[in-house]
């Protein structure tokens, strides 16, 4: 079975979620190719995709693809799929990946499944398990037809690291000018060393922090853990923190290995954005806060006393 994986990168560094997609593909078939776009990604970075399970990476280095024009990406992926004889396209679920996946499915007459959390069951057909209702339930979906597009959820599989280096080939798809009709007039990039969608650990604060001047202890804990920082919607609405840190149903949905909620009551909208986290730790002085019902571990106490002590203990343990 031949599989093509769409690779996303940030400033030339391949995203971990894309490496997960490559490893997912490696479990499905014995021939895995990948495709990456943009002139700002280094060849050695693409070669390292081989460690996750790809034998080949098609590199579209034309600067026209640097901006991430969705329609152009979809057309190029469809052409690369045909070139490689792939029947399945795998990619990471993301804001870009969702839009690309839908268009590739249409262009290749493929069945589409998004938010996939496990390897398919091929004992009788081709069935995949999807996360639905903001992580509250799962659905088993049978994908019919020869062509399939699968968008996997973050942390669906562990990244393989035992492969060799991938061969990197230059690839220039035949793209119509109409595929570049959209123009990106500006972008606003999230700040921070570790970005929320890619973070393995997230430390979030809520109104219990009482003001933006107290966010230093959140950042200190995050720095100690190598984590990204997040916040609840009221915090971003009051402009204590930037909106790109808003975690929740109407903000960023995260699925880290560890989510630490500090001074957040746990409204259902916030829980919808974090309930795919593997472990949730809640710190709140209100023992009746709803978040404790969703927590794996909870500390009932004043954040201004608990968090500095926790940070210090973690530093001393290193």
| Domain span holding position 306 | 196-317
Residues 231/206, Cβ–Cβ less than 8 Å: yes
Do 238 and 174 belong to one domain?
A: no
Q: Quick one: angle between helices 216-225 and 303-317, nearest 10?
A: 30
Distance separating alpha carbons of residues 212 and 196, to the nearest angstrom: 19
Reported as a single tens digit per residue, the pLDDT across 193-205 is: 677 888 899 999 9
Do 130 and 250 belong to one domain?
A: no
Reported as a single tens digit per residue, the pLDDT across 243-264 is: 999 999 889 889 899 999 999 9
Across the chain, what does the average pLDDT equal? 92
Do 175 and 205 belong to one domain?
A: no
CATH number for the domain including 202? 3.40.50.1220
pLDDT at residue 191 greater than cutoff 80? no
**pLDDT value of position 23:** 96
The number of residues making up the chain comes to 318
**pLDDT value of position 150:** 98
Q: Which of 116, 149, 180 is the last residue of a domain?
A: 180
**pLDDT value of position 311:** 96
**pLDDT value of position 231:** 96
Do 141 and 219 belong to one domain?
A: no
Residue 185 lies in a domain: no
Residue 35 lies in a domain: yes
Residues 285/294, Cβ–Cβ less than 8 Å: no
pLDDT band per the 50, 70, 90 thresholds, residue 29? confident
Q: For 24-38, 144-158, 190-204, 230-244, which range has the lowest pLDDT when averaged over its residues?
A: 190-204
**pLDDT value of position 76:** 96
Q: How many domains does the chain have?
A: 2
Reported as a single tens digit per residue, the pLDDT across 262-283 is: 999 999 999 999 988 999 999 9
Residue 178: CA count within 13 A, CB half-sphere: 0
Q: Which of 127, 155, 180 is the last residue of a domain?
A: 180
CATH number for the domain including 17? 3.40.50.620
pLDDT band per the 50, 70, 90 thresholds, residue 239? very high
Q: For 129-133, 192-196, 232-236, 254-258, which range has the lowest pLDDT when averaged over its residues?
A: 192-196
Helix (H, G, I), strand (E, B) or coil at 317: helix
One DSSP character per residue, 65-76 reads GTT--HHHHHHH
Number of other residues whose CB lies within 10 A of the CB of residue 5? 30
Do 214 and 117 belong to one domain?
A: no
pLDDT at residue 134 greater than cutoff 80? no
Torsion of CA 209, 215, 217, 222, to 10 degrees: 110
Residue 186 lies in a domain: no
């Amino acid at each position: 079975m031949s599989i093509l994986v769409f690779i996303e990168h940030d400033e030339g560094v391949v995203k971990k979620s894309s490496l997960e997609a490559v490893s997912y593909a490696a479990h499905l078939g014995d021939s895995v190719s990948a495709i990456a776009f943009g002139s700002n990604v280094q060849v050695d970075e693409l070669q390292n995709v081989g460690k996750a399970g790809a034998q080949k990476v098609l590199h579209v280095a034309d600067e026209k693809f640097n901006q991430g024009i969705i329609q152009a990406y979809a057309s190029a992926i469809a052409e690369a799929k045909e070139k490689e004889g792939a029947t399945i396209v795998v990619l990471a679920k993301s804001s870009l990946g969702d839009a690309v996946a839908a268009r590739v499915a249409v262009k290749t007459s493929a069945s589409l499944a998004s938010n996939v959390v496990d390897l398919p069951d091929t004992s009788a057909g081709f069935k995949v398990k999807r996360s639905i209702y903001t992580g509250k339930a799962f659905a088993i979906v049978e994908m019919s037809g020869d062509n399939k597009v699968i968008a996997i959820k973050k942390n669906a599989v562990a990244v393989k690291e035992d492969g060799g280096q991938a061969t990197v080939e230059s690839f220039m798809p035949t793209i119509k000018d109409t595929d570049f009709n959209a123009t990106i007039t500006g972008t606003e990039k999230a700040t921070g060393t570790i970005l929320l969608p890619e973070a393995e650990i997230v430390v979030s604060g809520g109104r219990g922090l009482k003001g933006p001047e107290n966010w230093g202890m959140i950042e200190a804990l995050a720095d100690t853990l190598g984590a990204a920082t997040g916040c609840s919607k009221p915090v971003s609405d009051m402009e204590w923190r930037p909106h790109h840190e808003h975690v929740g149903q109407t903000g960023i949905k995260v699925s880290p290995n560890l989510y630490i909620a500090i001074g957040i009551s746990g409204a259902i909208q916030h829980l919808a954005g974090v309930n795919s986290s593997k472990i949730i730790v809640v710190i709140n002085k209100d023992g009746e806060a709803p978040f404790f019902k969703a927590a794996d571990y909870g500390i009932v106490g004043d954040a201004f006393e608990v968090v500095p002590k926790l940070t210090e203990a973690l530093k001393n343990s290193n």
